[in-house]
Amino acid sequence: MTSPARQTLCLIDAHGYLHRAYHALSRMGRPMTNSRGEPTGALFGFAKLLIKILRENRPDRVAVCFDAPGPTFRHRAYAEYKAHRKEIEPDLKFQLPLAQDLVRAWGLPMVVKPGYEADDLIATLAARGVRDGFDVLVVTGDKDALQLVDDRVSVLNEAKNIVYTPAEVEKKYGLRPDQLVDYFALTGDASDNVPGVPGVGEKTATKLLQEFATLEAIYRQPDRVPEKVRQKLLDHRNDAEMSRRLVVLDREAPIDDKPADCRPPEGSRPALMDFLRRYEFNSLLVELGGGPRPTPAVRPSGTRTDGVSAAVELPARPAPAAAAPPVERRVRTVLTPADLKDLAADIGGADQLAVDVETTGLDPFACALVGIALSTRPGEAWYVPVGHRLLGEPPSWPLDKIRPVLGPPLADPKIPKVGQNLKFDGHVLERHGLPLAGVAFDTLVASYCLNPSRPNHGLKTLALDLLGESMTPIENLIGSGVKALTMDQVPIERAAAYAGADAEVTLRLKALMEKDLRDQKMERLFYDVEMPLVGILADMETAGLGLNVPYLQKLSREFGDALSGLEKEIHGLAGETFNVNSPKQLAVVLFEKLKLPVVRKTKTGYSTDEEVLRKLSDRHPLPARMVAYRELAKLKSTYVDGLLELVDPKTHRVHTRLNQAVAATGRLSSSDPNLQNIPIRTEEGRKIRRAFVPAEGNLFLSADYSQIDLRVLAHMSGDPALVRAFRRGEDIHAATARDIFDLGADAPVTDEQRRVAKSVNFGIVYGQTPFGLSQQLGLPLPQAQDYIRRYLEKYAGVKDWVEATLARARKDGYVTTLLHRRRYLPEINASNGNLRAFAERTAMNTPIQGTSADLIKVAMREVAAWMAKSGGRARLLLQVHDDLLFEAPPGELSTLAPAVKRVMESAVPLDVPVVVDVKTGPNWADLKKERAGA
C-alpha cells in the first residue's frame, strides 16, 4: 500500500517579483501605463506570475508574502544595512499597495509583518509547512532563499525557469544549501550592503567551505588557511560574523498564519475581475474568463489625492462593452470544384477583399504556401488549402488549378485588398505565381499610425483590445519549441477556422480604424504616405543587396586572424592563458591577479562590461585590448559571418526586412540582417561595407539628406538666426561654434570646435541633457551647461519652441510631426522624475526625427513614381536613416542623379532649403560625391 502524496504549500515573494518586473521594463525603456497614465507594468507582471504559478503548480496551500514598510531587525543590528539602496521609484511605490489590493481581490492568503522582510515570513512558513507535513515550493529570485532548500523545500526562480533542489544548489555553488549562509557571510552582498570579508571572492569562499564546512570551523583553525587569505579573515572577523547574522533568515517570525489555513480561493472572483478591468488588464481578463468593460474617461486633473501626478488620458478607443462571445463566423473550406466556383463568384464582384496566407515559416522568401484565406464581408470567410500534407486529409488544390480563379481578382488593382502585414502576404503570393495588387488597408500599418508606441501591433492583440475577441493562438495549432509542427501538418479544417478568422477580423478592424484615422486627422499620413510604402518596401526587399561573397569570406579569415593575435596579446599581458570570452575568468585576471580596482559589482560578480573596461584602460593595457577584441568579435560574428549565413546562395544577395511598424519615431528599421547599424567610422566597418556591391554592370548611387534634422528644427521653430544661416548656405556647425566659443563672425573654426558645436546642435535635437553632453565630449558639467546656455541665447526661437512643445505635450498627452504623426507620451506627467525626463526628451526630439522620417518616406514614394515613369533599370534598394541607396547602369546615372536630388529636395516644402548629397561608386564603402551638373 503506497502512502498518499504530500500536499504542496507555495510561498510567493511578492516584493522581489514586483521590483524585478518594474526594473526590467525600465531597462527596456518601455514603462507600461494605462489610459489614465497610471504606471501598471510591475502590477501586470505580478498578476501574470500569479496566474502562471497557480495554473502550473496547482498548490494545495498558498501564501503571498510582502515586505512591510519601515526598518527591520537587521537595520537595528547594522545601521548600514541596505543603506546604499536608492529610494524606491515613485511609480513602483505607487504599485506596491495595489499589488496587495490585487491579492485581496483574488482571495489569496497574504502575509505581511512590520519589522520583517518577506524572506523571513517565507522562512517561517516553510519551516511550519514542513512540520505540518507539506512539501514547500518557494517562488523567488532572491538567492538568500536557497539556504532553505532541503529534501522537502525547493525554490523556483521563475525568471530563469530553474527549480533549486539540494542537487541544483550544489551544482551552482559547489556547496550544500545549509552552507550558503556562511558563503554569503564571506562574500557579502553589495545590493544589500552586507560587507562580507573584503578580498574574499566566490571561488575563495567556496574552497574554504568545501574544506572546513562552516565559518565557525574556519575561525577555529585559521592556521590551516592559506596565508594571503588568512589575514583578511582575521582582520574582518567581526564583519563576517555580522554578515552572517544579516543573511540568515528568521524561521521563527512572530506571525499567526498557519499553513493549513492558507487555502487558495475556489470559483470565480468578481472582485478580481473588477480590479483587472480598473487597471485595463484586458488580456488577463480574457485569460481568466472575464471580459473588458469600457473604461470611464478621465480628464486632466492636476494632482491626485494619493500624491501621484495625474497624466493625460490617451485618446484611444475604449475597450468593448463586454468580452465578445465566440464570433458567429462562417468559414467555408474550398474542397470541390463547386466550392471553387462559388468562391470565384463571391470575390469577383467584391468591393473589398481581405487576404491572409498560411505558410510553413516566417521567411517570405523561403517558406511554402499552405493555404489562402479570403473574406469579402464581416462574418464570412473562405479557406483554400494548397499545401497541406497530413495523411488521410482531403487533397489540397494544385496551384495551377487555383491561379486561373484567384489570380485575376488578387491582381486586380480595382479590388481593394485588406490584411494584416500585407507585405509578407504579397511576397509569398508573388513567389507562388499569384501577384497581389490594390493593397489598400493594412491593419498593422493603421495600428502603427494610430499609436506608434503601442507595444504590440499583432492581429491577436488588436482583436482583443479593439473588438474584445480572443483569437486562437498559433501555438494551439502547431505547438511550440523544438517539437512544433509546421502549418502544412495541421488538419485542414482547423487551419481553415484559424486562417478564416485572421482574414475576417481584419475587415472588422478596418471599419473601426478608418474612423479613428479620420477622427485623429491621420488619413493623409496613412493613405498617402504609409500605405504606398508597403509596395515600395516589398520591391526593395525582393531586390536585396548584392554581396561579394569571396571578399567577405576572406574578410572573415582576416578578422579571425586578428582576433587570434589579440587573444595572444591579452594572454601575454595577463601572464597566463584564459578564456577571453568568459567574463568570470576575465574578472579573476583583472581584479584578483592584476589587482585592478573594482568599478562595479553585479549580483553574479564583478562587472567587466565595456564601460568598466574603458575606465580601467588608463591603469593597464589589458582592458583596452579586451575592448578591441570584443568590438572586432562582434563585427565578425554579427556582420561578416552573419551576412554569409543570410546570403542567398543563388543570387549572392541578402534580403533584409524593412520594418514599417517598429520605431516609435516613424523611421523604418532593418532586420535579418540589420543593414542600418553597420559601423562606418572604423576601418573594419568600412571593410564590411565594401562587401556590398551592385548587380553586375551597375553602380551604386547614394542620395543623403544633409543635416535634415537641423533643417526641420529651423522650419518648426522658425528661429530667425537658424533659418537665416540655412538660407545663406552657411556651415551651421561652424556658425554655432563661433557663438559658443565667442569667436568673431569671420574667425576661423578649428575641427575640434566644430565637433563640439555639432554635438551641441544635435544634442538639442535629441533632447540631450548637459550631463549627457559632458559625458559625450568629456567636458566638465559646468562647461557643457554653458555651451547649451549660449546656444539657446543665440537661437532663442529654438528655446521658445522647446518650451511650447513641452507645454502642449503635457496638455495633450502627445506630440505630432509636420504630417500629423502622433506619438503618445503618457509618462509626460509621471511622478517618477526619470520617466518624466525621458518623456520630455522624447517630446523634444519626436517632432524633429518624426518629420524627417515622414519626409524621406514621401521622397521614397515620389522617387518610386518617377522611376516607374522613366522606364529605366535603376532600382531603389535600401533606406538607411536619411539616405537612399540605388543601383543603376552607368548610362542612367546622368539622368537618375539629378532627378533623385530634385525629387527628394522638394518632397515636403520647408522654410529653409533642403539639400541632398549624391554619391556614386562600385561598392557601398567607396562612394564619391557627384560633381555639380554631372
Report pLDDT digits (tens) over 684-721. Answer: 889 999 999 999 999 999 999 999 999 999 999 999 98
Q: Indicate whether 2 pLDDT > 60.
A: no
Please give the share of the chain, as a percent, with pLDDT higher than 70. Answer: 90
Nearest residue to 840 (alpha-carbon basis) of 868, 803, 866: 803
How large is the average pLDDT for residues 373-393?
94
Q: Indicate whether 295 pLDDT > 50.
A: no
**878-895 pLDDT per residue, tens:** 999 899 999 999 999 999
Look at residue 83 in the predicted model and tell me its pLDDT.
53
- Helix 833-870 vs helix 531-543: angle between axes, to the nearest 10 degrees? 70
Q: Which residue in the block uniquely carries the three cell numbers 532572491? A: 142
Q: Indicate whether 114 pLDDT > 80.
A: yes
Identify the helix (H) or strand (E) that includes residue 65. strand 61-65
Q: Indicate whether 79 pLDDT > 70.
A: no
| One-letter amino acid of 634 | K
Look at residue 304 in the predicted model and tell me its pLDDT.
28
Angle CA 202–207–208, to nearest 5: 100
Comparing 466 with 399, which gets the higher pLDDT? 399
Q: Across-strand partners of 374? A: 355, 382
Under a CB-based contact definition with an 8 Å cutoff, are residues 732 and 915 in contact? no
Under a CB-based contact definition with an 8 Å cutoff, are residues 264 and 59 in contact? yes
Look at residue 806 in the predicted model and tell me its pLDDT.
93
**710-719 pLDDT per residue, tens:** 999 999 999 9
Look at residue 842 in the predicted model and tell me its pLDDT.
87
C-alpha cell at 578: 584564459
Q: Write down the mean pLDDT value for the chain.
A: 86
The whole-angstrom separation of Cα 655 and Cα 580 is: 34
802 Cβ contact partners less than 8 Å away, ≥ 6 residues apart: 764, 844
Look at residue 494 in the predicted model and tell me its pLDDT.
95
Under a CB-based contact definition with an 8 Å cutoff, are residues 450 and 522 in contact? yes
36, 340, 641, 828, 840 from 24: Cα distances, Å: 22, 51, 31, 20, 21
Q: Indicate whether 932 pLDDT > 60.
A: no
- Helix 796-812 vs helix 708-717: angle between axes, to the nearest 10 degrees? 80
Under a CB-based contact definition with an 8 Å cutoff, are residues 815 and 823 in contact? yes
Nearest residue to 689 (alpha-carbon basis) of 582, 797, 545: 545
Question: Strand pairing of 417-419 and 353-359?
Answer: parallel
Look at residue 652 in the predicted model and tell me its pLDDT.
86
Nearest residue to 19 (alpha-carbon basis) of 109, 96, 100: 96
Look at residue 352 in the predicted model and tell me its pLDDT.
96
C-alpha cell at 405: 480563379
Lowest mean pLDDT among 152-166, 217-231, 518-532, 797-811: 217-231
Please give the share of the chain, as a percent, with pLDDT higher than 90. Answer: 51
How large is the average pLDDT for residues 39-59?
89
**412-429 pLDDT per residue, tens:** 999 999 999 999 999 999
72, 92, 96, 519 from 88: Cα distances, Å: 16, 7, 10, 40
Q: Indicate whether 26 pLDDT > 80.
A: no
Look at residue 86 in the predicted model and tell me its pLDDT.
59
**433-450 pLDDT per residue, tens:** 999 999 999 999 999 999
Give yes or no for a cis peptide into 97 (omega within 30° of 0): no
For 157, phi and psi rounded to 5 degrees? -90, 95
Identify the helix (H) or strand (E) that includes residue 61. strand 61-65
52, 243, 579, 601 from 232: Cα distances, Å: 46, 15, 29, 20
Q: Indicate whether 468 pLDDT > 80.
A: no
**812-871 pLDDT per residue, tens:** 989 999 999 999 887 788 766 777 888 888 898 899 999 999 999 999 999 999 999 998
The whole-angstrom separation of Cα 453 and Cα 828 is: 14
Q: Indicate whether 314 pLDDT > 70.
A: no
Q: Indicate whether 85 pLDDT > 70.
A: no
The whole-angstrom separation of Cα 511 and Cα 531 is: 16
Three-state secondary structure call for residue 391: coil
Look at residue 655 in the predicted model and tell me its pLDDT.
94
DSSP state letter for 309: B
Look at residue 28 in the predicted model and tell me its pLDDT.
54
Question: Strand pairing of 601-602 and 605-606?
Answer: antiparallel
- Long-range CB contacts (< 8 A, 24+ apart) of 633-639? 633/563, 633/581, 635/559, 635/679, 635/684, 635/685, 635/688, 636/556, 636/559, 636/560, 636/563, 639/673, 639/678, 639/688
Look at residue 5 in the predicted model and tell me its pLDDT.
62
Look at residue 35 in the predicted model and tell me its pLDDT.
60
- Long-range CB contacts (< 8 A, 24+ apart) of 151-159? 153/126, 156/53, 158/17, 158/49, 158/52, 158/53, 159/20
Q: Indicate whether 668 pLDDT > 90.
A: yes
How large is the average pLDDT for residues 478-507?
93
How large is the average pLDDT for residues 303-307?
28
Look at residue 581 in the predicted model and tell me its pLDDT.
92
The whole-angstrom separation of Cα 138 and Cα 249 is: 14
The whole-angstrom separation of Cα 422 and Cα 471 is: 19
Look at residue 80 in the predicted model and tell me its pLDDT.
63
- Long-range CB contacts (< 8 A, 24+ apart) of 264-273? 264/54, 264/59, 264/61, 264/62, 264/107, 264/108, 264/109, 265/106, 265/107, 265/108, 269/105, 269/106, 269/107, 271/104, 271/105, 271/107, 272/102, 272/105, 272/106, 272/107
Question: Strand pairing of 369-377 and 353-359?
Answer: antiparallel
302, 427, 646 from 581: Cα distances, Å: 52, 40, 25
Q: For 858, how many CA atoms within 13 A lie in the half-sphere containing its CB? A: 18
**249-276 pLDDT per residue, tens:** 888 888 998 999 999 887 667 888 888 8
The residue count of the chain comes to: 934
C-alpha cell at 417: 485588398
Comparing 783 with 603, which gets the higher pLDDT? 783
Look at residue 303 in the predicted model and tell me its pLDDT.
27
Three-state secondary structure call for residue 578: coil
134, 155, 294, 873 from 122: Cα distances, Å: 14, 11, 39, 71
